């Protein structure tokens, strides 16, 4: 971290970009300390000798290292200003590690913090480790399987001990089973022998816990992340942003989201601020409808670059990007008032052009272009206006300054403590001039364009606590000192002077502000006052002392600002519109239909938040609105204004009772009230009950830490899988606190994207991310986990069943080569293909029927354990059936090889293993819904590859001297019909029950996706038949949909479909080929490649699967459908 003392800019200013620190891409101005004897500028090259001489005996005394990016308190020791005061060092003088120098040749500075003491490293926190619900369920299942393994081993060891005791007293003894005396052979029934047998079974059954599951699951998740990133339906062509995946651990968690907590500005809205209305002199100005170009010629002729084309707009263009965005500039009444030099309007425009932190920078793309009419924008942030690019840390300030420029007051420079503005006639007569004289002005500029300069004496910066900012300026020409104040209405209106008529004026502005808020506009109130010189000089002395403070500088500056921000005169109010993004209302409605709670957490005022919530359908329009404010928590009367501890309890009880009666209402709570609601565990429980009873929740006027606390409350106490969605640095806490964090690539930098787990370009892409990819991943990955335990149970439990006929001797049935390759070669590819390609329904169906999402979002831990139990019972049956079927057929005394010898243990073990491999692979085939070439190759290729492996394994002894136990096994098994009979009986007996159970379940208790998948199959069959007969036909929208009733309380059946839906669907088919000539023309088109390409693109753009027209005759022929 460096304190700047010299810059290449003559005014000592250096511009930095802090995207690596806070995600902000707008340039920030850093100023060199006014060190005596050190001058900035290009002509003053940095000299170490000069700097050393000037800084001899000087030192910097500053705060201890901390993580506050926007705060620095320090001062120079040994250096004094011209007034004799200590030279202070503020955050405006410090360039932090991680910043990037822009539009500045060089800077020279003094290093104050290095290494781990820098603010960048102090803000480097370890990202929280996020674990999906499926992984926690899987870990619990592993513990259960471990306990089962121990229990089975204890039981088997006890049964072996009992057999051994019976062997000692039995009249018929197995004399050929003499112990070898070599450990771990058991030769007794003592405690040592019991523990030895226990260890042997533990080792034999260690495969019950599938270690390969973690590798397979991670591989599957990586491939699923690839599908998410490649999904074109989530690509944002406007910003050239595709869906980004920054983690592979939460794919299945996307399918279980129960609560979406979203920011408003830049997330639900576009964060493209449009200056649309203002209140000046008790009147509201807005854009005129149908403006007459003959009366006001050329007003939209502005030297502003079109953001899409990158070309300067000519004088007749009405497509000026700024004029289209900031529609207030089209107000003929406001322009007329500005032309007539109305005092209120002039003060209003001067305030907009002066009270801000906007830094205009030269647009190099325009200046370096020989032909200005063909200059191309470089893509940097900020509006390009009159050859300057306005760089603002806030889009609101950029909108206000640009709007003032459109109305004839253009900001020219803001550097070296001076603000320079050009005044132009608002009638558009000088709109062709380039700001600052770099254009074709000539003598014409002098007649119509003027300059206004003011000296900036002090800046009281905006903070979340103050909710306002102010500047103290001195007019260079008149010498008048003025305080310019702007901020939130509640922070500015209370600082207005009480004069005659001020009450009526304030009431009028308040009514205008309420009107703006109801329209969803962001509002600011402007005020000013002239400061006497004697008051200003005393105040500046206190201001300089506060600037040099080393402790609590921010509080000291706030206190100093409070002294001068008083007795102001109202100037006006601004209304900036932040439009909703495309598809936001539809997306929120879709998510709510999917069973997700959607909450909005914003720092905007209550009226604005409610208006946006109603517009985006977050709150039911037909429901009531419950508003909770901080004043509700304060008791009146006898308690003397103390906190009322019973308000939230009573409110929550009332809400729960209303919800039981079927009443719908939305909850709106302010930040002050939220502070009380989150104060104690009891209040948190009551607040959570209140939120559960409401249909939608809006938290307004909340701070970033409150966003994180609400998210944590829903995460830990609400029992929901939460998703935090935001686009700015103030949303990082919420994004990190949620189970899943999603960053929106917006105008507020990349801080939210860098802290997120997933990133998208628009809020509407969340529907695809959750309802399609999230649901698929949840179902697929759950199958992967259950299948991994299933297949290991199949071959591991065979050893237990074999113990029933081998005196529980812990003798393995399979050879080590088969065991080592079971998971890697023979059963892994089918499950990987399944997890990557399986689809129960198409993406269009998932989006058209968001209720399908409830199947995965409401999947509980008990349900998972129940499904795991069913899978393991099935695995136990498969292993037992395969073992005993092969033993019965191949182990019969009359069964023998071609040379008359009976098959040995490992030969029969290979047969059992073959049946287990085929049964496991076909298990995947039975559960596959969407077949692709990869699925077919993975399933049947794995089965086919097993037999050459057995042949190579049987020849390994002769070729390499290994695997003697299975030498010649292929020659002994493959030619024998009994072997193939054993395999057929084993596989059929294993798979048929599963297939019958699956079919029965679909007939007797079909789920929602079963019905919709059946509809897809019927439509696809009809379409294929029509294509075969008549060639490709143009798609037409299906006007009749399958009627499905989703019952939240019926978790068992999921959904119920009306039986008449299929018959109603048939009646919707209409004729497509009225004349044979039209049919021939369609067939000619079908042979045209360009037509086919256009048709394919049209089908891809359809949100639902298109239907196909058929003739009445074909309906009669297809009656069996």
Catalytic residues: 263
Question: Measured in whole angstroms, how far is the alpha carbon of residue 72 from the centre of its chain?
Answer: 33
Q: How far apart are CA 306 and CA 324, in angstroms?
A: 10
Between the alpha carbon of residue 635 and those of residues 631, 646, 953, the distances in Å are: 8, 10, 85
Contact between 835 and 784 (Cβ < 8 Å): yes
- Identify which of 529, 533, 526, 534 has the alpha carbon closest to the alpha carbon of residue 564: 529
- Identify which of 145, 75, 1, 107 has the alpha carbon closest to the alpha carbon of residue 786: 145
User: Strand pairing partners for 818?
Assistant: none
Between the alpha carbon of residue 298 and those of residues 302, 320, 827, the distances in Å are: 8, 11, 74
Between the alpha carbon of residue 18 and those of residues 67, 118, 211, the distances in Å are: 15, 14, 45
Contact between 924 and 830 (Cβ < 8 Å): yes
DSSP summary character for residue 822:
I
SS3 of the chain: helix, strand, coil, percent, to 5: 50, 15, 35
Contact between 613 and 696 (Cβ < 8 Å): yes
DSSP summary character for residue 92:
G
Contact between 127 and 37 (Cβ < 8 Å): no
Q: How far apart are CA 950 and CA 828, in angstroms?
A: 18
Between the alpha carbon of residue 241 and those of residues 246, 762, 765, 918, 943, the distances in Å are: 14, 9, 11, 45, 43
DSSP 3-state assignment of 740? strand
Q: How far apart are CA 338 and CA 407, in angstroms?
A: 8
In terms of phi and psi (left: phi > 0; alpha: psi -120 to 50; beta: otherwise), the region of 600 is: beta
Q: How far apart are CA 372 and CA 832, in angstroms?
A: 57
Q: How far apart are CA 531 and CA 473, in angstroms?
A: 10
For 655, residues 6+ apart whose C-beta sits below 8 A from its C-beta are 626, 665, 667, 689, 690, 693, 694
Half-sphere exposure of 52 (CA within 13 A, CB side): 3
Crossing angle for the helix pair 775-803 and 212-230, to the nearest 10 degrees: 160
Tell me phi and psi for residue 457, to 5 degrees. Answer: -85, -35
Residue 140, burial from CB neighbour count under 10 angstroms (0-12, 13-18, 19+): middle
For 1016, residues 6+ apart whose C-beta sits below 8 A from its C-beta are 841, 842, 845, 1105
- Identify which of 316, 289, 313 has the alpha carbon closest to the alpha carbon of residue 384: 313
Q: How far apart are CA 193 and CA 202, in angstroms?
A: 14
Crossing angle for the helix pair 933-954 and 828-837, to the nearest 10 degrees: 170
Tell me phi and psi for residue 1094, to 5 degrees. Answer: -65, -40
Residue with token string 């395969």:
882
- Identify which of 836, 817, 826, 780 has the alpha carbon closest to the alpha carbon of residue 941: 826
Cis before 790 (ω within 30): no
Q: What angle do CA 930, 788, 909 make, to 5 degrees?
A: 110
């Amino acid at each position: 971290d460096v304190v700047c003392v010299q810059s290449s800019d003559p005014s000592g200013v250096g511009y930095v970009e802090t995207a690596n620190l806070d995600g902000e891409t707008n340039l920030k101005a850093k100023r060199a300390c006014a060190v005596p004897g050190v001058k900035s500028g290009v002509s003053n090259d940095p000299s170490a000798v000069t700097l050393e001489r000037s800084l001899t005996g000087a030192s910097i005394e500053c705060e201890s290292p901390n993580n506050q990016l926007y705060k620095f308190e320090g001062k120079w020791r040994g250096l004094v200003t011209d007034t004799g005061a200590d030279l202070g060092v503020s955050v405006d003088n410090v360039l932090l590690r991680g910043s990037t120098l822009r539009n500045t040749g060089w800077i020279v500075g003094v290093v104050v913090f290095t290494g781990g003491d820098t603010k960048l490293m102090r803000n480097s926190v370890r990202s929280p480790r996020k674990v999906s619900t499926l992984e926690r369920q899987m870990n619990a299942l592993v513990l259960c399987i471990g306990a089962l393994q121990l229990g089975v081993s204890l039981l088997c060891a006890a049964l072996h001990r009992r057999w051994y005791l019976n062997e000692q007293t039995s009249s018929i003894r197995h004399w050929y089973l003499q112990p070898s005396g070599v450990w771990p052979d058991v030769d007794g029934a003592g405690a040592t022998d019991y523990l030895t047998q226990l260890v042997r079974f533990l080792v034999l059954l260690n495969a019950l816990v599938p270690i390969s599951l973690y590798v397979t699951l991670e591989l599957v998740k990586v491939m699923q992340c690839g599908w998410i990133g490649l999904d074109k339906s989530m690509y944002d062509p406007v910003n050239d942003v595709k869906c980004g995946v920054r983690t592979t651990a939460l794919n299945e968690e996307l399918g279980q989201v129960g609560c979406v907590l979203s920011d408003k500005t830049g997330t639900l809205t576009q964060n493209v601020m449009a200056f649309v209305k203002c209140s000046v002199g008790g009147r509201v100005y807005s854009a005129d409808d149908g403006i007459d170009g003959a009366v006001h010629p050329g007003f939209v002729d502005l030297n502003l670059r079109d953001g899409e084309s990158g070309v300067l707009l000519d004088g007749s263009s009405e497509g000026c990007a700024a004029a289209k965005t900031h529609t207030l500039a089209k107000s003929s009444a406001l322009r007329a008032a500005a032309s007539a030099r109305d005092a209120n309007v002039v003060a209003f425009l001067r305030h907009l052009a002066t009270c801000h932190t906007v830094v205009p920078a030269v647009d190099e793309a325009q200046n370096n272009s020989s032909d200005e009419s063909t200059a191309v924008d470089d893509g940097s942030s900020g509006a390009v206006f009159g050859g300057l690019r306005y760089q603002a840390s806030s889009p609101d300030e950029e909108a206000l300054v640009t709007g003032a420029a459109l109305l004839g007051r253009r900001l020219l420079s803001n550097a070296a403590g001076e603000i320079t503005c050009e005044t132009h006639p608002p009638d558009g007569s000088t709109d062709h001039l380039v700001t600052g004289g770099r254009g074709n002005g000539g003598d014409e500029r002098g007649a119509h364009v003027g300059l206004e300069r003011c000296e900036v004496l002090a800046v009281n910066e905006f903070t979340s606590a103050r909710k306002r900012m102010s500047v103290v300026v001195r007019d260079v020409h008149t010498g008048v000192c003025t305080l310019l104040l702007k901020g939130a209405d509640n922070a500015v209106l209370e600082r207005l002077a009480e004069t005659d008529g001020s009450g009526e004026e304030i009431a009028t502005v308040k009514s205008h502000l309420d009107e703006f808020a109801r329209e969803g506009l962001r509002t600011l109130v402007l005020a000013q006052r002239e400061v006497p010189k004697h008051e200003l000089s005393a105040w500046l002395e206190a201001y300089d002392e506060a600037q040099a403070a080393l402790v609590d500088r921010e509080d000291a500056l706030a206190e100093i600002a409070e002294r001068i921000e008083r007795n102001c005169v109202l100037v006006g109010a601004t209304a900036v519109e932040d439009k909703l993004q495309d598809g936001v209302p539809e997306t929120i409605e879709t998510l709510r239909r999917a069973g997700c709670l959607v909450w909005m957490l914003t720092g905007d005022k209550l009226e604005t938040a409610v208006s946006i919530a109603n517009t985006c359908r977050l709150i039911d329009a037909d429901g009531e609105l419950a508003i909770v404010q901080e004043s509700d928590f304060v008791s009146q009367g006898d308690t003397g204004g103390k906190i009322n501890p019973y308000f939230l309890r009573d409110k929550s009880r009332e809400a729960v009772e209303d919800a039981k009666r079927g009443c719908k209402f939305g909850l709106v709570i302010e930040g002050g009230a939220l502070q009380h609601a989150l104060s104690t565990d009891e209040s948190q429980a009551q607040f959570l009950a209140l939120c559960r009873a409401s249909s939608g929740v809006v938290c307004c006027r909340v701070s970033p830490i409150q966003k994180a606390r609400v998210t944590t409350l829903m995460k830990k106490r609400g029992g929901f899988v939460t998703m935090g969605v935001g686009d700015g640095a103030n949303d990082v806490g919420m994004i990190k606190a949620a189970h899943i964090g999603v960053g929106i690539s917006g105008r507020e930098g990349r801080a939210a994207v860098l802290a997120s787990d997933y990133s998208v370009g628009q809020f509407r892409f969340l529907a695809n991310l959750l309802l399609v990819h999230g649901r698929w991943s949840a179902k697929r990955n759950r199958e992967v986990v259950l299948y991994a335990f299933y297949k290991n149970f199949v071959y591991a439990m065979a050893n237990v069943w074999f113990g029933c006929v081998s005196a529980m001797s812990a003798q393995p049935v399979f050879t080590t080569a088969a065991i080592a390759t079971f998971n890697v070669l023979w059963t892994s590819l089918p499950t990987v293909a399944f997890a990557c390609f399986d689809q129960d329904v198409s993406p269009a169906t998932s989006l058209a029927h968001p209720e399908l999402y409830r199947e995965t979002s409401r999947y509980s831990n008990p349900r998972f354990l129940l499904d795991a139990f069913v899978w393991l019972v099935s695995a136990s049956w498969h292993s037992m059936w395969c073992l005993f079927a092969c033993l019965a057929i191949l182990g019969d005394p009359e069964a023998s090889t071609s040379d008359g010898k009976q098959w040995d243990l490992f030969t029969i073990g290979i047969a059992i293993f073959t049946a287990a491999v085929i049964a496991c692979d076909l298990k995947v085939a039975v559960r596959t819904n969407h077949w692709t070439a990869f699925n077919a190759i993975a399933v049947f290729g794995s089965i086919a590859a097993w037999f050459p492996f057995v042949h190579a394994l049987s020849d390994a002894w002769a070729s390499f001297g290994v695997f003697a136990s299975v030498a010649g096994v292929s020659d002994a098994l493959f030619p024998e019909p009994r072997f193939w009979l054993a395999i057929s009986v084993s596989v059929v007996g294993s798979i048929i029950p599963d297939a019958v159970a699956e079919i029965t379940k679909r007939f007797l208790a079909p789920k929602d996706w079963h019905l919709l998948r059946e509809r897809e199959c019927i439509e696809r069959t009809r379409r294929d038949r029509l294509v075969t007969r008549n060639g490709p036909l143009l798609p037409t929208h299906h006007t009749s949909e399958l009627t499905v009733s989703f019952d939240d309380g019926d978790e068992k059946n999921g959904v119920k479909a009306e039986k008449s839906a299929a018959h109603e669907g048939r009646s919707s088919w209409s004729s497509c080929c009225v004349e044979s000539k039209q049919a021939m023309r369609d067939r000619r088109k079908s042979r045209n490649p360009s037509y086919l390409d256009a048709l394919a693109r049209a089908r891809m753009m359809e949100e639902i699967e298109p239907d196909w027209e058929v003739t009445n005759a074909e309906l009669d022929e297809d009656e069996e459908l």
